[in-house]
Chain A
Amino acid sequence: QVHLQESGPGLVKPSQTLSLTCIVSGGSVSSDTNYWSWIRQHPGKGLEWIGQINHRGITIYNPSLKSRLNLSVDKSKNRLSLSLTSVTAADTAVYYCAGADILMGTNFSFDYWGQGTRVTVSS
């Protein structure tokens, strides 16, 4: 069973860069059947897809975040990373990493979810 664990700073100042990591266990970021996404949920709101990366490092970003976003994969540490620059209060949310197994669905049906990490943008 694939387990995802996000971690991050909790509190980020406006205009700074948000950096999050997601440790993958029970599976491999190098798998060619898994696609890894980041998804966020603003307080009391619905889900927003942030972007996706695969084992080759090929990315698809949400157009609304593309100019500020960078996703990466570290095969040596079996982990995923998110970097979001120039954050504002609108980036306050719970951030999830999620995995899709294309042996069971498409690369946008998310089989595995981390527990989420809460990020607050405030001075």
Chain B
Amino acid sequence: QSVLTQPPSVSAAPGQKVTISCSGNTSNIGNNYVSWYQQVPGAAPKLLIYDNYKRPSKIPDRFSGSKSGTSATLGITGLQSADEAHYYCGTWDSSLIAALFGGGTKLTVL
């Protein structure tokens, strides 16, 4: 069981918006930056969001990130079938002295 808690699955229709939550504590999310990754089946993860809300240059602005207290959220607007993937949050844990990932959320575009 992961220290960072994500919902196992979310779903929405094409064109709609979805949010994925990542819950932690003061040792991890509460005092460290959060990143988000997309992993399509059979491929390596890809960085979507870093430093809580920043996007690498090639990531479209349909993807957004936010953080409040000990929770972080990934938002995806204008859903496309290509967005079907697993999404993981990640951060550093100052107590465990380890990088952590959430358990992952499977996004289904209906």
Contact = CB atoms under 8 A, between A and B. Distances in A.
Contact of B90 (A47, A62, A104, A116): A47
A52 interface: yes
A85 interface: no
A85 B1 CA distance: 25
Interface in A50-75: 52, 60, 62-64
Nearest to B91: A108
Interface in B54-110: 54, 56, 88, 90-92, 96-104
Given A110-B47, A113-B46, 17 more contacts: A37-B99, A46-B103, A47-B88, A47-B101, A47-B104, A49-B99, A60-B97, A96-B44, A104-B56, A106-B51, A106-B92, A109-B33, A110-B45, A111-B50, A113-B44, A113-B45, A116-B44
A109 B101 contact: no
A46 B51 contact: no
Interface of A: 37, 46-49, 52, 60, 62-64, 96, 104-106, 108-111, 113-116
Interface in B1-54: 2, 32-33, 35, 37, 43-47, 50-51, 54
A108 B98 CA distance: 10
A15 to B, nearest CB: 25
B54 to A, nearest CB: 7
B62 to A, nearest CB: 20
5 smallest beta-carbon distances between A and B, as pairs: A105-B50, A109-B50, A49-B99, A113-B44, A109-B35
